Amino acid sequence: ALGLEGPVTCLLYTDGVPTIGVSGQSGALESARLLATAGVTINSVGVGALSAENEEFDWTGGEFLSRLAELTRGKYFVLRPQL
């Protein structure tokens, strides 16, 4: 239990590519499962990442962010840049 009352919602704004920490996507999804049992909802906003090779946006983290939101009864949104 987190010791919080009422709905707890997290807004995660990211490219969806874990680069810090040792757990990667599988660890983050396991953490999301634990948070969901505590009543936490994660809404994720995928921002994409600018590819250095061709200056296009890379959305590879989208599937991961969608799953993360789904596990916690949240929603996944994509923020698409206007180039």
> Are the C-beta atoms of 68 and 36 separated by less than 8 Å?
no
Residues of the chain with pLDDT under 50: none
Where are the strands (E) in the chain, listed by range? 8-14, 40-46, 49-50, 57-58, 76-78
User: What's the predicted TM-score (pTM) here?
Assistant: 0.77
Question: Could you report the per-residue pLDDT of 52-73, keeping only the tens digit for each?
Answer: 565 666 667 888 899 999 999 9
Angle at 47 between CA 15 and CA 33, to 5 degrees: 55
CA dist 5 and 42 (Å) reads 16
pLDDT at 16: 85
Phi, psi of 25 (to 5 degrees): -65, -40
pLDDT at 74: 97
